[in-house]
Amino acid sequence: MDRFTGLSAFVRTADLGSFAAAGRVLGLSPSAVGKAVSKLEAQLQVRLFQRTTRSLRLTEEGRAFHERCRHILDDLDDAHESLMRTREAPRGVIRMSCPIIAYHLLLPVIPDFMARYPDITLDLDFNDRIVDLIEEGVDVAIRSGQLPDSRLMVRALRPFRLLLAATPAYLARHGTPGCPRDLADHASIGFRYPNSGKIQPWPLRRPEGEPEPRLSYVLTCNNMEALRGAVMRDLGIGCMPDFLAEGPVRSGDLVPLLLDHLDAPGQFNLLWPSSRHLSPKVRVLVDFLAERLFMSEPCLSYGKNPEFAGRTS
């Protein structure tokens, strides 16, 4: 028998005063309880009970040991009951790390999650820094790009697209590019990756042998919200995710460009530390976000706005 069985047998015997009574509670025979206690005494090299044919009394060492073991088993019982309650109704704090831009995705669905799981508190960190989930105690993260850490579990979310866009006012002044090489004559707004400092390449599909257009950056920044803001202020052409451009495109404040020349799939993933047992609170969040984020492709009906229908070449 393992040490836990010996501790349980010892505590129950001390509580109830006999091996037989302890056996009835534990579902063991009196002899099995006696053997478990004897094995525990041998492991500890201490006599825990004074045994006679008529009585069973704790030794001085046994009384001190019983008090400590009683607390340990009570704590284990409390932990077990707490875990069972958590499985029935997930609860607790979930620490989540997300790119800054992800609040456009999360905030519309978070109210439904909180209504469904009122005992869960979300601690959201919107930061483009790549965090170490295990070292920093983060429960779940949303990330894009390569995921080299084998200690993490991953669930892919539905892909998004990258778009080139500019305002009608900018295009009225500078013209609308008809092919990638026309971009060399335009002002570009660049996104600089916060971690590497490199500028995000634009996902342009070009004929074989045609060189990559030389972009003239008038502004670069490491925040996609700021990039969209600069584009919205008529400063130039920028590249951004479709879910960030969707509202302005629908309202006519942005015009998507060169749609037939873009090869721009993007992918967000949910990550969480690998473990044999996923905690109930994390499991319900992962399942909920996988279901609700990117439930459908953004419905950007570019060609339905007659003012811009000819500008999306």
Topology at the third CATH level for domain 160-265: D-Maltodextrin-Binding Protein; domain 2 (3.40.190)
- With contact defined as beta carbons under 8 Å apart, do 287 and 278 qualify? no
Q: Judge whether 254 and 245 are in contact, CB under 8 Å.
A: yes
The Cα 217–Cα 189 span in angstroms is: 6
CA dihedral 65, 68, 69, 74 (to 10 degrees): 160
92-159+267-292, what's its fold? D-Maltodextrin-Binding Protein; domain 2 (3.40.190)
Q: Angle 253-187-200 (CA atoms, 0-180°, nearest 5)?
A: 90
Q: List the pLDDT tens digit at each of the 313 positions of the chain.
A: 467 788 899 998 998 889 999 998 889 999 999 999 999 999 999 999 998 888 899 999 999 999 889 888 888 877 776 676 666 678 899 999 998 888 888 888 999 999 999 999 999 998 888 788 877 889 999 987 666 566 778 888 877 889 999 999 999 999 999 999 999 999 999 999 887 888 999 989 877 777 788 899 999 999 899 999 999 999 999 999 998 998 999 999 999 999 999 887 778 888 888 765 678 899 899 999 988 876 544 445 444 333 333 333 3
Rounded to 10 degrees, the C-alpha dihedral 243/245/247/250 comes to -110
Structure tokens at 170: 């900018």
Work out the angle between the directed axes of helices 30-44 and 3-16 (0-180°, nearest 10).
Answer: 110
* d(C-alpha 258, C-alpha 10), whole Å: 77
Tell me which of 2.40.30.30, 3.40.50.720, 1.10.10.10, 3.40.50.620 is the CATH number of domain 3-84: 1.10.10.10
What gap in Å lies between CA 223 and CA 216, rounded to an integer? 19
Is 88 buried (19+), middle (13-18) or exposed (0-12) by CB count in 10 A?
Answer: exposed
Give the Cα separation of 11 and 221 in Å (integer). Answer: 65
Instruction: Specify the amino acid at residue 12.
Output: R
Q: What is the pLDDT of residues 27-56, one digit of tens each?
A: 999 999 999 999 999 999 999 999 888 889
Q: Name the token pair of 91.
A: 């609860």
Domain ranges for the chain? 3-84, 92-159+267-292, 160-265
Q: Count CA atoms within 13 Å of residue 139 on its CB side.
A: 19
Do 3-84 and 92-159+267-292 agree at the fold level?
no
**Whose structure tokens read 């519309």?**
108
Asked if 288 and 122 count as a contact pair (C-beta separation under 8 A), the reply is no
Whether this model's pTM surpasses 0.75? no
